[in-house]
Structure 1
Amino acid sequence: MIMKALHALFLEHPTICTDTRKITENCLFFALKGPNFNGNAFAQEALDKGAAYAIIDQEEFKTSDRLLLVDDVLDILQQLSTYHRNYSKAKVISLTGSNGKTTTKELISAVISKKYKTIATKGNLNNHIGVPLTLLSIKEDTEMAIVEMGANHIGEIGFLSTIAQPDFGYITNFGKAHLEGFGGAEGVIKGKSELYDYLKTNDKYIFLNADDDIQKEKLSTYTKKMGFSTNDHHYYNIKFLGVDPYVLLEMEGIQITTQLVGKYNFPNCCAAILMGKYFNVPLEDIKSAIERYQPQNNRSQILSKNGFDIVLDAYNANPTSMKAALENFSLMNADRKTLILGDMFELGNTASEEHQAIAELAKELGFDDAYLVGGNFHDTNTTLNKFKSFEDLKVHLSKKPLKKGALLIKGSRGMALERVLDFL
Structure 2
Amino acid sequence: MKIAELHNIFLQNPSVSTDTRKINENDLFFALKGDNFNGNQYALNAIDKGAAYAIIDEEEFAVHEKTILVDDVLSTLQKLANFHRHYCSAKVISLTGSNGKTTTKELIYAVLSKEYRTIATKGNLNNHIGVPLSLLNITPDTEIAIIEMGANHQKEIEFLSSIAEPDFGYITNFGKAHLEGFGGVEGVIKGKSELYDYLLKNNKVIFMNADDPIQKEKLGQYVLKYGFSTVDSKFYTITMTTADPFVRIKVENIDIKTQLIGAYNFTNCCAAIVMGKYFNVALEQIKEGLENYLPDNNRSQVLEKNGVRIILDAYNANPSSMTAALENFANLRATTKLLFLGDMFELGDTAPEEHQAIADLAKQLGFENTYLIGENFFTVDTDCQKFKTFETLSEFLKKYTIPADATLFIKGSRGMALERIVTHI
What is residue 335 of structure 1 aligned with on the other side?
A: 335
Q: How does 1:223-242 map to 2 (within 5 A)?
A: 223=223, 225-231=224-230, 233=232, 236=235, 237-242=237-242
Q: 1:183 to 1:160 in 2, by over 3 A?
A: same
Contact 1:169 / 1:206 at 8 angstroms: preserved in 2?
Answer: yes
Which consecutive residues of structure 2, in runs of 5 or more, have no partner in the other structure? Answer: none
Partner of 1:155: 155
CA distance in 1, matches of 2:415, 2:231: 40
1:346 is matched with 346
User: Larger deviation: 80-89 or 239-248?
Assistant: 239-248
Give the Cα separation in 2 of the matches to 1:196 and 1:231.
22
Q: Which residue of 2 aligns with 1:318?
A: 318
What displacement does 1:146 show?
A: 0.1
Where 1:160 maps in the other structure, the secondary structure is: helix
Question: Do the aligned partners of 1:228 and 1:271 also contact (CA within 8 Å) in 2?
Answer: no
Distance 2:250 2:218 in 1: 27
* Counterpart position of 1:421: 422
Per the alignment, residue 258 of structure 1 pairs with: 258
What amino acid maps onto 1:228 in structure 2?
Answer: G
Single out whichever of 399-408 and 81-90 deviates more from structure 2: 399-408
Structure 1 residue 72 corresponds to structure 2 residue 72 = yes
Counterpart of 1:81 in structure 2 is: 81
Amino acid at match of 2:360: E
- 1:233 Cα offset (Å): 5.0
Q: With the length of structure 2 as denominator, give the TM-score of the two structures.
A: 0.98
Tell me by how many angstroms 1:302 deviates.
0.3
1: distance between equivalents of 2:401 and 2:364? 24
2:382 maps to which residue? Answer: 382
Percent identical? 65
Where structure 1 has 5 or more consecutive residues not aligned to the other structure, the ranges are: none
Q: Residue 209 of structure 1: SS of its match in structure 2?
A: coil
**2-structure distance, mates of 1:235, 1:382:** 50
CA distance in 2, matches of 1:220, 1:355: 34
Q: Which amino acid aligns with 1:370?
A: T
Inter-CA distance 233–7: structure 2 relative to 1 (3 Å threshold): closer
Determine the C-alpha separation between the residues in 2 that align with 1:198 and 1:252: 34
Which residue is 1:205 aligned to? 205
Secondary structure of 1:345 counterpart? coil
In 2, Cα distance between equivalents of 1:345 and 1:92? 31
Show the counterpart of 1:280: 280
Moved runs in structure 1, 4+ residues, more than 3 A? 231-236
Residue 133 of structure 2 aligns to a residue whose secondary structure is helix
Q: 1:218 Cα deviation (Å)?
A: 1.7
Q: CA deviation at 1:234?
A: 6.6
Equivalent residue, structure 1, for 2:369: 369
Contact 1:229 1:235 (C-alpha < 8 Å) held by counterparts = no
CA distance in 2, matches of 1:273, 1:399: 47
Q: CA deviation at 1:417?
A: 0.3
Question: 1:227 aligns to what SS in structure 2?
Answer: coil
1:201-229 residue CA offsets vs partner (Å, 9 max, x unmatched): 00000101111011112221213x24232
Matched residue SS, 2:350: helix
How much has 1:28 moved relative to structure 2? 0.6
The AA in structure 2 aligned to 1:410 is: K
CA RMSD, 1 decimal: 1.0
- Normalising by structure 1, we get a TM-score of 0.98
Q: Distance in 1 between matches of 2:287 and 2:370?
A: 37
Query: For residues 154 and 222 of structure 1, what CA distance do their matches in structure 2 show?
Result: 24
CA distance in 2, matches of 1:226, 1:110: 22
Q: Residues 88, 188 of structure 1: CA spacing in aligned structure 2 closer, same or farther, 3 A cutoff?
A: same
The reply on whether 1:23 has 2:23 as its aligned counterpart is: yes
SS of 1:291's equivalent in the other structure is helix
| 8 A contact 1:98–1:177 mirrored in 2 | yes
Partner SS for 1:145 = strand
Match of 2:409 in 1: 408
What does the per-residue CA deviation read over 1:137-172, in whole Å, with 9 as the maximum and x for residues that have no partner?
Answer: 001110000000000001000000000000000000
Deviation (angstroms), 1:402: 2.6
AA aligned to 1:112 is: L
In 1, the alpha carbon distance for the partners of 2:63 and 2:211 equals 59
Distance in 1 separating the partners of 2:188 and 2:79: 27
Question: 2:208, 2:226 within 8 Å by CA — same for their partners in 1?
Answer: yes
Taking the aligned partners of 1:233 and 1:360, their CA distance within structure 2 comes to 39
Give the Å deviation of 1:401: 2.7
Could you tell me which amino acid in structure 2 is paired with residue 415 of structure 1?
M
Residue number in structure 1 paired with 2:271: 271
- Corresponding pairs, count: 423
- Contact 1:226/1:235 (<8 A) preserved: no
